[in-house]
A and B are shown apart, each in its own frame.
Chain A
């Protein structure tokens, strides 16, 4: 319970109040009768107010008025000569009755008001408590609902991502498959192809099969990333060698564009997982090959970033990535305008680079094309 309250805890009871008051009247009278001739008449008059107050406090207005009348009678009988007889001194008795009744009424009214106030306060407190309880219940329900809504939203999002992934994967897989099926079904026809065309078509099948292989590799990485199983096995990696190998491997993609590799002699070694980094560079190069206009140049380079980083840059002369899409480009399934890719490749790049404690970003290159910058920690011997 709260702090002690200076109010009566019980409702005023007229019967109890009257009895208590009258008992006090008798007590006071008995106590004061022996000294009634020595003292001023004001003393019994004042003392007899006390039972009225007590009755008012414990019994309310009715008890106070009844005891006031009792006090007045006792005063008349016991303290106004001739003692013991109900001689009426109109003035003195009237004053005593009026004063006592007024005091009784005042006290009783105050007590009644206090009781009413207390009742109201209690009702309010009760109402508040009920409200509070209801509020708490509602609050709890609200929190539960909110939690469920969030969970549903997350599930929905996962579902949407799954659908988006499936859609983009089937699109990605079908495009090279369509080329392979078209060529293979045609070659079976025993048509008289000239040697150059036949060679070109067979090349096409090989290229598209390699593309399928890269898509499958990306999908495997994606599932590893989702499962949280992407753990780089770090070693010292020479970025110039890795880039050169990667370009050689993807040479078929760069028939129409020229790739220039330019690395400083003293480029620090990167601390990275070779095959994972190879995939990052491969994805960015494939991206560049897709957007670079014919006969343009794709520039691959590197530089030290003091104190403890090394950067790899790949820049094309294509249309570039608009500023507002530069962050979004690495989100899963984000496909740039005019893109025919699935939007999975760059997301994988980011996941791999971040697993290395590195950064990846795309910015505007010198010719307005896309410049991808990957920074990685330097390998410490």
Chain B
């Protein structure tokens, strides 16, 4: 783990109270925090300074958060975690499609946001290291991509090819949300995108085969948005939608 003070995080929100709370929490964990209260200010800062994570409120007064995601993605790969007070799943999906990496719904718990930040930072490191790991691991789950074999605590789990592809896709970025469309297109093919009922069926099969605890599943459903794979026993494992034990 690198020194967290080297980690530069930009928090963008027009509510001073949120900036104060999130800023204090991140600083106390050792991260270096910068803040912006408008979209223009955020874009301006992001152009001039190297950043490791951007926490972005979608409801800014000057620019739509989704538009900011789109503009940032024109030249930056910095992970973006969007904050939204809206329950509208559509906005979340649009933000993810526009380039956001993850989302947290307000009111959020700080541990949940911190877990998302850690996931984003880990992916950023992994993306620069070796993206093609032959064996993926999430907790006691091992996914051998080369041999299409999955073991759970050392015991072989029998999966169909589609189930395997579904699981391997999520395991490549543990903790990160994948939208329905992303999963359908990666596993079923580019012609798919709206057949979320397939995903429900396969997710339920996978949970059964992996012996998921319904209260703390490995395969977490983000209603209306998609799925993420977490390690229920790991440090970010409780980073589910409710964000707390």
Residues of A participating in the B interface, judged by any CB pair closer than 8 Å: 171, 174-183, 185-186, 189, 191-194, 197, 200-201, 204, 207-208, 337-340
Contact = CB atoms under 8 A, between A and B. Distances in A.
A182 B244 contact: no
B17 interface: yes
Interface of B: 14-15, 17-18, 20-22, 24-25, 27-29, 59, 61-62, 85, 106-113, 243-244
Given A176-B17, A194-B28, A338-B62, 6 more contacts: A171-B85, A180-B107, A182-B107, A185-B110, A185-B243, A191-B25
Contacts of B61: 337-340
A185 B20 contact: no
Give the top 8 A-B pairs by smallest Cβ distance, nearest first: A186-B110, A185-B109, A338-B61, A179-B17, A178-B107, A178-B106, A181-B107, A182-B21
12 contacts: A171-B85, A174-B85, A178-B107, A181-B107, A182-B107, A183-B110, A185-B244, A193-B24, A194-B28, A200-B24, A339-B61, A340-B59
Contacts of B110: 182-183, 185-186, 189
Q: SS class of chain A's interface: helix, strand, loop or mixed? A: helix
B108 A181 contact: yes
Contacts of A175: 15, 17-18, 85, 106
A6 B92 CA distance: 87
A292 to B, nearest CB: 13
A61 B106 CA distance: 100
Nearest to B109: A185
Contact of A182 (B18, B29, B62): B18
Nearest to B243: A185
B24 A179 contact: no
Contact of B107 (A174, A204, A338, A340): A174
B131 to A, nearest CB: 33
A189 to B, nearest CB: 6
Contacts of A176: 17
Contacts of B21: 179, 182-183, 186, 201, 204
A182 B25 CA distance: 9
Interface centre among A185, A197, A201, by most chain B C-beta atoms within 10 angstroms, is A185
